């Protein structure tokens, strides 16, 4: 049993009401919700939210009736991990044990169905504790990310003994792309945070990893979607 999940908290400071804001003709959440509902591998879908209207909308589309998210998980300081644990428990109370927990971040609508399928394939092939979507970092701490030293001078964040003079010489570094996750339910039940176990990357191209956290991000994603739809 593969359980799909979307977390959609009501409050948002960067883009108020973003989860239901219309993006290229439909609410933002629908871009991810429809991917889960249509995916041939995902058998059940749960939406964790503190928004009554959004919850009823998701249930009406076919999501499990897991109830509203508890108050302590509805703040901007709530842990994604704890939200996942709550949703998994409530879902398994309804459908029984699961083999994989697939989370899609609804603020990253540029993923495609192939990303979900490939992340699942990687999970079942390698059997890690979690597969996490990533993209190659555009800035690298071994080369062009900087920190201030004690006298206020700029230094490379992670200097190496051998001097790096070109980006291609620097060690590979990933950005955590909040898009697509596949988690072992056993790991999700027992661990207290994302990185306690074996977490491996599912690499996505950066153009599918844009996360909407500001008005600028929303406009950028809208532009990319329109370009994609135009061929």
Contact 13, 76 (CB under 8 A): yes
Under a CB-based contact definition with an 8 Å cutoff, are residues 48 and 6 in contact?
A: yes
Domain match, 23 and 126 both:
yes
Instruction: Give the model confidence (pLDDT) of 202-224 as tens digits.
Output: 999 999 999 998 999 999 999 99
Total domains in the fold of the chain: 2
Do both 207 and 222 map to the same domain? yes
pLDDT digits (tens, 9 = 90+) for 89-138: 999 999 999 999 999 999 999 999 999 999 999 999 999 999 999 999 98
Sorting pLDDT into bands at 50, 70 and 90, what band is 198?
very high
From CA 82, how far away is CA 205, in angstroms rounded?
28
Does residue 34 sit in the same domain as residue 47? yes
Exposed/middle/buried for 119, CB within 10 Å: 0-12, 13-18, 19+? buried
CATH number of the domain residue 224 falls in? 3.90.550.10
Domain that holds residue 102: 2-133+176-229
DSSP 44-89: EEEEE-S-HHHHHHHHHHT-----PPPGGGSSTT--HHHHHHHHHH
Q: What pTM, to 2 d.p., does this model score? A: 0.91
| pLDDT in the model for residue 26 | 94
Pair (25, 123) in one structural domain? yes
Contact (Cβ atoms closer than 8 angstroms) between residue 88 and residue 10: no
Residues 83, 166 share a domain: no
């Amino acid at each position: 049993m593969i359980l799909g999940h979307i977390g959609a908290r009501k409050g948002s400071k960067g883009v108020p009401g973003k989860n239901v804001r219309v993006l290229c003709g439909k609410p933002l959440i629908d871009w991810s919700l429809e991917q889960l509902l249509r995916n041939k591998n995902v058998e059940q879908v749960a939406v964790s939210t503190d928004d009554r209207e959004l919850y009823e909308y998701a249930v009406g589309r076919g999501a499990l009736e897991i109830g509203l998210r508890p108050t302590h998980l509805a703040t901007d300081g709530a842990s994604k991990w704890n939200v996942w644990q709550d949703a998994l428990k409530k879902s398994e109370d309804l459908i029984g044990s699961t083999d994989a927990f697939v989370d899609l971040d609804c603020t990253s609508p540029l993923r495609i169905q192939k990303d979900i399928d490939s992340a699942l394939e990687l999970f079942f092939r390698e059997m890690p504790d979690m597969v996490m979507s990533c993209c190659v970092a555009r800035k690298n701490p071994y080369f062009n990310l900087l920190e201030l030293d004690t006298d206020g001078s700029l230094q490379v964040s992670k200097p190496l003994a051998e001097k790096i003079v070109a980006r291609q010489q620097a060690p590979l570094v990933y950005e955590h792309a909040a898009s697509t996750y596949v988690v072992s339910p056993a790991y999700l039940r027992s661990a207290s945070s994302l990185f306690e176990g074996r977490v491996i990357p599912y690499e996505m191209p950066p153009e599918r990893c844009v996360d909407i956290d500001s008005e600028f991000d929303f406009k950028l994603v809208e532009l990319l979607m329109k370009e994609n739809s135009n061929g």
